[in-house]
Structure 1
């Protein structure tokens, strides 16, 4: 059965050959699965599980989370003591936004393990989207006798959830992208304005959010499968992205984010764990988790060795074979987030005495659960966090600050600061509140792959206080925050264009 599912997904996701004149073509359903599939709940469960697997494989293709969401801020530097200075130079290259240098095929890091050119290719993401579209259509037109109406609606909602999650990643990477929900598309598509893409995803997910459960009976599915809480969080992040680019409707997006955040918090489904239990948060499947990509070192279910952010910010005893860390967060950045003399348990738990060393002695201890021992060479197996409850609280606080709900925003900000053992924030004006919330987001979500995207959506990517090598206003408008696209995306599609910032 596993081989059958793998073949099904491969066919569903395979792009046209060089001789094909159709864009995003998939085989007709009678060739795809015949009469042997979509017959029982196990078929549906296997299909949706493989969709998550496809998404996970894309994140494992390179140091995806670090390269997309952390390194481009320039707040991480290569360690001067690294024992691999040629290959690990990518840390500084990414931080300078030299993405053409980062993806150069002859760069030493790409001729070995890192494969950064994969960041310019969206084919794997569209395989996930194709699979979701097929699943939505097949469930709508077929009768599966053993599948209840509730489960049918849940699986359909899960397909929509996965599709929207994938589009969110695509937009944050490339800006405008082709958008479609048709299962068996056979015509070329141009790129759609990213605001429209996100608006469409919001509309689709809103129709299905109530078909998703708050929780599953099986605890192993907590946070690693679509839930109503995960969908509400995704809607919030999509609204906040569009608030940064659709200026005429930003207040509407902020208001909707506040409403979604309140619904999620009032559900009583999620809670913040004590900060001393942070290992349980990042091990995964905790009551703080909303959406995660699962890893398990003991069972070999991990991202590739160089995909983990931990790979570059740890050394022995947490990273076997590395006397020094490959990189470090700049001390100037950390001093801004953690003022001298201000109490904060995250400072004590997530860093050691070399927090401000600006060299290879630095370690970031946030992700240090089960880790490899001498001779094993692996990374800690913490889950990859996509959304978690603390982030939702802070996002709600941000939207509240933008809609004049200052007291409510301060209250939410202080929930996170209380959990961290940090002094409570006292309101001193809306601009100071905005900054305090942003600092809290930078501290709380550090290393979780959202910092650069927050820089982009808030415009702080143009401010050296937050981005070490800031973009100019002109560079930002021309798409300097996007990733270059491989010319292969134009194969057999006369309507396709590349990201001009990287081609001119």
Structure 2
């Protein structure tokens, strides 16, 4: 035992003192050695739980989902009743003024710490952990672990790694890519299309080793499933279709194929709109990929993390003092475009209140409000929804439009509209249908952290109809849609570069 411990300590010192220690931080000492740790399925479950926890910790390190996926589109504005020293970041994001947002002297950063958005170390810790999991599973037999269970765990490692790379690419563009465990070699950045193509190839190989669902309801949607893998594959293909123009039709075609496989499985379904609380609480039959939050298990996100924190007020946010108004609101002009006057839509009635078009702090977006809130000044006890069945249907419809399957795309679009009690689409294919599907994505997925990334991948980030402060063609080409990178990413790594748009 003493010999094993000495070996573990030596290995840890070697890794932690290597030239790129700050670039690729690995797991705690007790999880580095196959001899000392990987003895049972409970060890594996504990390790996987820790990986998801690392990912979750990154997403709650600031208002991550809001800042990255919602606010930068500029359709959310700070309420006039709000102290700009407290919530001025809302408008900073909407103006794409990220350097002002993350400035050390910005008054909101004492609480929100938006500089965390410029640091990728925590994401690479997740990737390194997934790499270690994959390696250790294949190194030595683990008592009681069947071949099928082994392949499932290996597939889950790949899924987690690919999901993390997607988050990295959407934030920073080109990023270092590796799948080797215990890596201690400095790496340059890899072209983001190549990164995503690599992820597509490795996840496609193992997706069939994942279950469609779990017998344990506690694992539903918060652990990797085949449906979640298919949704991730679809999204990665759609992302690359926006940048890999030469191969975009192949990306769209693969998205359709994955979407059909998911639909034909009949493993997931749309819940009635009146059951929205169950959808966003999480682990429902509509869930595909979620990050767990559960008050009863101490899995409560930091108070500033959820998007709902800035668009709800009393009586959905307690106490009345300090929550008389929402801190932000969706611009009325944008909402009128999504919800034309006189057109029925249950989402308007269910996800908003009578002050929907107020253009001030009376506004509330109550899509994520629920009976699961606990105590004062605490946000709804909901999971972070990354992909759900409605997301997958709309991605499939989008790809069908681009591959000439207008009738099939219309059918999927109308599944979403039927659930919402909205009029069915009866128009032509082509650009009219393309715009209808995109409008439906903007409505259905509002607040779920996809809006800005959809602007980027479709080029609508340069269209003022959809992006309130659009990028120019030149700004887009120079990476104005990315985030700045902290200079610390270059520590001990002579091959590393920053995002030039934010440094010039």
Is the alpha carbon distance of 1:472 and 1:87 closer, same or farther for their aligned partners in structure 2, counting shifts above 3 Å? same
Which residue matches 1:91? 90
Distance in 2 separating the partners of 1:27 and 1:366: 37
C-alpha distance after superposition, 1:285-329 (max 9, x if no partner): 110000111112344321100011111000011111300000000
Is the alpha carbon distance of 1:228 and 1:486 closer, same or farther for their aligned partners in structure 2, counting shifts above 3 Å? same
Q: Could you tell me whether the CA contact under 8 Å between 1:329 and 1:358 is conserved in 2?
A: yes
Which residue matches 1:428? 428
Which residue matches 1:362? 363
Which residue matches 2:159? 161
Is the alpha carbon distance of 1:327 and 1:31 closer, same or farther for their aligned partners in structure 2, counting shifts above 3 Å? closer
Which residue matches 2:41? 41
Structure 1 residue 35: Cα displacement: 2.6
C-alpha distance after superposition, 1:6-49 (max 9, x if no partner): xx9xx989985697689536589999336331011100010011
Q: Could you tell me whether the CA contact under 8 Å between 1:22 and 1:188 is conserved in 2?
A: no
Distance in 2 separating the partners of 1:53 and 1:503: 33
Q: Could you tell me whether the CA contact under 8 Å between 1:154 and 1:211 is conserved in 2?
A: yes
Q: Could you tell me whether the CA contact under 8 Å between 1:25 and 1:185 is conserved in 2?
A: no
Distance in 1 separating the partners of 2:478 and 2:166: 20
Q: 2:114 aligns with which of 113, 116, 123?
A: 116
Q: Could you tell me whether the CA contact under 8 Å between 1:12 and 1:131 is conserved in 2?
A: no
Distance in 2 separating the partners of 1:165 and 1:13: 29
1:396 pairs with 2:367: no
| TM-score after normalising by structure 1 | 0.94
Which residue matches 1:344? 345
5+ residue gaps, structure 2, are 1-7
Distance in 2 separating the partners of 1:107 and 1:503: 19
Which residue matches 2:81? 81
Is the alpha carbon distance of 1:66 and 1:75 closer, same or farther for their aligned partners in structure 2, counting shifts above 3 Å? same
Is the alpha carbon distance of 1:21 and 1:438 closer, same or farther for their aligned partners in structure 2, counting shifts above 3 Å? closer
Q: Could you tell me whether the CA contact under 8 Å between 2:18 and 2:184 is conserved in 1?
A: no
Secondary structure of the 1:291 match is strand
C-alpha distance after superposition, 1:58-108 (max 9, x if no partner): 0000000000000000000000012x3311000000100000000001100
Distance in 2 separating the partners of 1:70 and 1:49: 28
Secondary structure of the 1:61 match is coil
Which residue matches 1:503? 503
Is the alpha carbon distance of 1:187 and 1:485 closer, same or farther for their aligned partners in structure 2, counting shifts above 3 Å? same
Which residue matches 1:471? 471
Distance in 1 separating the partners of 2:31 and 2:203: 30
Distance in 1 separating the partners of 2:216 and 2:478: 47
Q: Could you tell me whether the CA contact under 8 Å between 2:223 and 2:289 is conserved in 1?
A: yes
Is the alpha carbon distance of 1:28 and 1:301 closer, same or farther for their aligned partners in structure 2, counting shifts above 3 Å? closer
Q: 2:145 aligns with which of 144, 147, 168?
A: 147
Is the alpha carbon distance of 1:369 and 1:496 closer, same or farther for their aligned partners in structure 2, counting shifts above 3 Å? same
Is the alpha carbon distance of 1:457 and 1:27 closer, same or farther for their aligned partners in structure 2, counting shifts above 3 Å? closer
Q: Could you tell me whether the CA contact under 8 Å between 1:161 and 1:205 is conserved in 2?
A: yes
Secondary structure of the 2:358 match is coil
| TM-score after normalising by structure 2 | 0.94
Distance in 1 separating the partners of 2:127 and 2:12: 10
Structure 1 residue 187: Cα displacement: 1.2
Q: Within 5 Å, give how 1:321-340 maps onto structure 2.
A: 321=319, 322-340=323-341
Distance in 2 separating the partners of 1:388 and 1:27: 30
Q: Could you tell me whether the CA contact under 8 Å between 1:271 and 1:389 is conserved in 2?
A: yes
User: Which one is further off, 11-20 or 268-277?
Assistant: 11-20
Which residue matches 2:449? 449
Q: Could you tell me whether the CA contact under 8 Å between 2:15 and 2:182 is conserved in 1?
A: no
Q: Could you tell me whether the CA contact under 8 Å between 1:73 and 1:467 is conserved in 2?
A: yes
Structure 1 residue 244: Cα displacement: 0.3
